[in-house]
Amino acid sequence: MTRWRFAAATDTGLVRDANEDALSVDLTLAIVADGMGGHAAGEIASSLAVEVITRRFHEDETVEGLYAAVEAANVAVLADAAANPERFGMGTTVTAIALTEDVAGIVSPTLINVGDSRVYQLRDGALRQLSDDHSVAEEWVRMGRLTPEEAAVHPRRHQLTRVLGMDETVEIDVVSVVAQPGDRLLLCSDGLSNELSPEQLVQLASPPMPLEDAVDKLVAAAKESGGRDNISVVLVEFDDVVATATPVKRTVSTAPPALAPPRSARRRSSRFTWRVAIAGLVLIGVVAGFVAIMHWYAYSTYYLADDAGFIAVYQGQPNGVLWYPPHKVLDTTFPSRNLRPADQRLLAATISEPSLASALSYAAYLNRAWHLTRTVPSATTTTTTSVPPTTTTTVRAVTTTTKAKG
C-alpha cells in the first residue's frame, strides 16, 4: 500500500492584506490553490476549488475521478462568479498530488496542475520540479524563445496562460509520479517559489528535517526574503510505495462535447463543404465558357440588308443565336432600289461579310457597280446584245435604269 505522511502551512505574508491561497491535505490528496480577483474574490475562488476537488475526488479516487473533480471545480468557480457579479474575473491556480487507484487496485501518485503553483520532488538531496508553470514566460521557455534564466526575470513570468474559473474549457496537466520510500513532494504557491532559491528549498525541506518543522521554516524563510505574496506549503513524505501503475502523462481539456463536435463529424462536414465549393466553381466555369463562346459566335460576322430602301450593315447572325439578336451598326446612303436586280436578290437574302470593313467595302462596290452600268455608252448597249447569257443581267440593268430615267 502506498502511504505518505504530511504537513502543511499557509501565511498571508508581509505585504498582502488577505490570504487568497487555500490548501488541503489528507491521506490520499494534497492540494494547493492560489486565488486571484478583487473584493476577496480570489479567496473564494481558491477555497471553492479546494473544497470541490477534495469532495469530488474522494467520491472516485481514480485518475479519471481526479480530473473530473478539477473540471467540476472549474464549473463551480464559473457558476459562483456568474451568480455574484462583483466576483467577475476571479480565478485560481490548482496543483495537487493524489494517490489514485487503477483498475488492478494499484495505488500510485498522480499530479494535476493548472497555473503556476508548483510540485517539486526531493530525493537524495536533489530538487526536481515536476509541474510545468502555465505562465507566458515559461511557455516561451518550452517553445525555445527564452532561456530559464531570462524567464526568471521576464515581466510576463506572472501572467498566467491557464487558470480555473476563466473559461468553460480548461486544459489540465495529468502526470503519473514515480515515487520511492523516503521521497518528499513539496507543493507550494508562487509566494514560496518566488522568494526562495532551489538551494534554500532543498536545505529546508529535505530529511532529516521533520515535516512540521520543514513547512514552518519554509514559510519563515519566504517572509524573511520579503514575503511579498501569500505563502502556502504542503510537504508529503512517502513511507511505503508499491509497484507503480501504468504511467499517465497527458493534458486533458475539459471542453464540453456540446461545444466541440466529434472530430470525425467536423472533418466530414469540412470535406463536404470543399467538394461543394469545387463543384460550384467548375459549374460556373463551364457556364461562363459556354456564354463566352456563344457571344463570340453570335457577333463574329456582319451582313448587308435592306433597311427602309437603303443598304444597312448589321452585326450578328441574320436569325440571331440564342438570346443574342443581330443589331444594326451602320446606315449607308446607298439606295437599295438602285442595285442591279441580281444584287437586289442577293441583298434580300442577306450578304454575309467577315468584318465591318469588308461589309462597307462590298456595299460601296454594289453601289458603284450600279453607277458604272448606268453610265455605259449606248454603243456598248448595242454590242452587248450578242454577249453570253451571263452578261444579260448587265444589259437588263441598263434598260431598267434607262426606263427609270425616262
Smallest gap, in angstroms, from Cβ of residue 34 to Mg ion?
A: 4
Single out the residue of 190, 195, 237, 343 in contact with Mg ion (rule: CB under 5 A): 190
**Nearest CB to Mg ion, comparing residues 190 and 343:** 190
User: Residue 104 contacts by C-beta under 8 Å, 6 or more apart in sequence?
Assistant: 245
The answer to whether 133 contacts Mg ion (rule: CB under 5 A) is no
Smallest gap, in angstroms, from Cβ of residue 94 to Mg ion?
A: 12
**Nearest CB to Mg ion, comparing residues 115 and 326:** 115
Binding mask 196-235 vs Mg ion (x if CB under 5 A, - otherwise)?
---------------------------------x------
**Nearest CB to Mg ion, comparing residues 113 and 189:** 189
Residues numbered 251 to 310 that lie near Mg ion (CB under 5 A) are none
Q: Which stretch binds Mg ion (CB under 5 A): 185-193, 234-242, 274-282, 295-303?
A: 185-193
Smallest gap, in angstroms, from Cβ of residue 35 to Mg ion?
A: 8
Question: Nearest-CA neighbor of 98 among 236, 285, 217?
Answer: 236
Using N-to-C axis directions, what is the helix angle for 392-405 and 341-348, rounded to 10°? 100
**Nearest CB to Mg ion, comparing residues 20 and 183:** 20
Using N-to-C axis directions, what is the helix angle for 356-374 and 341-348, rounded to 10°? 150
- Give 12-80 as a DSSP string: --SS-SS--EEEEE-SSEEEEEEEE-TTTHHHHHHHHHHHHHHHHHHH--SHHHHHHHHHHHHHHHHHH
**Nearest CB to Mg ion, comparing residues 10 and 338:** 10
302-307/310-315 β-pairing: antiparallel
Smallest gap, in angstroms, from Cβ of residue 118 to Mg ion?
A: 11
The answer to whether 34 contacts Mg ion (rule: CB under 5 A) is yes
Q: Which stretch binds Mg ion (CB under 5 A): 59-67, 78-86, 139-147, 190-198?
A: 190-198
**Nearest CB to Mg ion, comparing residues 34 and 101:** 34
CA distance 255 to 278: 33
Which residues, listed in sequence order, are joined to residue 233 by a DSSP beta bridge? Answer: 9, 188
CA distance 307 to 336: 8
Interface residue list for Mg ion (CB under 5 A): 34, 189-191, 229
